[in-house]
Structure 1
Amino acid sequence: MNKTKNVKIFTLIFMMFFNIIIMSFLFNSNKSSTLDNMDVFERREPTNLDVGAINP
């Protein structure tokens, strides 16, 4: 009974640790692309707003 409980806790901690590694890896890989997209949007939005403000 106690041995199976320890094994369940160990597997739970291992899965949490494994998930944290995967999530951090995915977050770091997606972080650059999202930051690049945000930079592109920040470069385009002011021009669109300026054009919209100048055209009328």
Structure 2
Amino acid sequence: MLSTKCPNACIRACHLPAWQKAEEDVKSLLKEKLLPALQRASLKAERARIHNVIGQISGE
């Protein structure tokens, strides 16, 4: 079991497809050339968080 942000959140291997989709969505948004720098930084941080969660799920 893995927690992220919310201490009550439980993330398991069955949630992996949803996290992978979220990672794809963030990558797609980051391809936008006119994205403001602050939003780009926020998306990069979120991508790193998602990547970390996926790594931990995969390592279960």
Common fold by TM > 0.5: no
Give 1 or 2: higher helix fraction: 1
Task: Tell which structure's C-alpha radius of gyration is larger.
Answer: 1
Q: Please, what TM-score do these two structures have when normalized by structure 1?
A: 0.43
Give 1 or 2: higher strand fraction: 2
